[in-house]
Amino acid sequence: MRTLIVAALLLGCASPASADPAQDLLRDLSNAPGPSGFEEPVRAIMLPQMKSLADDVRFDGLGSVIARQGSSGPRIMLDAHMDELGGMLRRVTPDGFVSMQMLGGWLDQALAGQRWIIIGSKGPVHAVSSIRDIHLATTEERSALIKRDQVFLDTGARSAAEVAALGIAPGDPIVPDSAFQDMNGTGNYAGKAWDDRVGCAVLLMAMQRLKSAGHPNQIYFVATVQEEVGLRGARAATALVKPDIGIAIEGGVTGDAGGAHLEESQVKLGAGPGVFLYDSSAMPNRKLTALLRKVAAAQNLPLQVDLVQGYGDDSAEMQTVAGGAPTINIVVPARYTHVHTGIINRRDFDQTVDLVVALLRRLDAGTVSELRDFTR
């Protein structure tokens, strides 16, 4: 049954191929439903391509995909997570409304009055989250935050029995209903789950480039699960890979949307790939950061830097598991993360692929030994 549901989901999110394979990949990954713990539709996109480009493929016990290219040299782990922010069906009320258990760090103000998809035993079920009607709201309520425990999903059902007839029940995953869109020819792409489907796309494009161009390493391309609920897949996968160097690829944070404060973020959409010098979960290796700067300069690529509070990424696990490794978190800037619809820039994406490929080709045995030398 689960296989049939996943096939139906993929059929529903697939679109006709265009003359731009990278855009097609970004669209399909963004559209695929895959909240934490229900990454199957995303893995169904990633796995066939990773198998075709790798020397071998295996899995950790949680479902992360570990694909290796190369059989000698340093062990480099390139990581992107497949899961997205979402939820689970929590309870059904007698009058047919549904409550949600959120998966990941949602803002309460991003939940009300939105469209959602519940993945049930009979396939996708569309829903709308409730919101206090303005004609009924008091003056105080009109400007107040609607808390998540006040938000319910409306599937159109009128009773608990009608909800059950739709094929949904407690524990079923929920994702935002937000389709990919090329925004008016601007080079900006709107869609859900750029955190971290854009990283998944960078991983696949880097695999393709390195398969044909070669590299001096054993590169472990790892598509992890359950990042949004505690970096769980990265922890398990790192224990298997035992990398000498760890590189996370993530959706970043921009400060160029209306009302942003300079101290929050100085990264801009369309100004190139970024690297985090600090986040709440990890601090990058300084030698590796310096090398990344040199590689970007040599390739004439822009590189934005940022320090972000309230952010976690898989490099935190690569940094500490199995004895630890020098790590770095390279990001594709994204506006409006952890909400229904975010925006990325295509040139930022392409330049991030260029930067990641160039960095991986520099990480030969001598360079990795220098990065891991803490005596000087």
Q: Is 227 a catalytic residue?
A: yes
Q: What are the C-alpha distances in Å from 74 to residues 27, 146, 217, 370?
A: 33, 51, 5, 12
Pairing of strands 97-103, 153-154: antiparallel
Distance CA 57, CA 150 (A): 44
Q: What are the C-alpha distances in Å from 210 to residues 167, 217, 243, 305?
A: 44, 10, 18, 26
Give the count of alpha carbons within 13 A of 307, CB side only.
5
Angular region, 63: left φ>0, alpha ψ -120 to 50, beta rest: left
Q: What are the C-alpha distances in Å from 178 to residues 183, 229, 337, 373?
A: 14, 21, 13, 46
Distance CA 251, CA 193 (A): 9
Catalytic residue (one of 227, 228, 250, 317): 227
Instruction: Say if CB 83 and CB 199 are below 8 A apart.
Output: no
Instruction: Say if CB 193 and CB 104 are below 8 A apart.
Output: no
Amino acid letter for position 102 = M
Nearest CA to 343 among 228, 203, 182? Answer: 182
- Would you say how long the chain is, in residues? 376
Distance CA 83, CA 70 (A): 27
**Residue 238 carries which DSSP code?**
H
Backbone angles phi, psi at 135, to 5 degrees: -75, -15
Distance CA 218, CA 77 (A): 9
Instruction: Say if CB 277 and CB 305 are below 8 A apart.
Output: yes
Sign of the C-alpha dihedral computed for residues 151, 154, 159 and 163 taken in this order: negative
Instruction: Say if CB 268 and CB 274 are below 8 A apart.
Output: no
Catalytic residue numbers?
Answer: 227
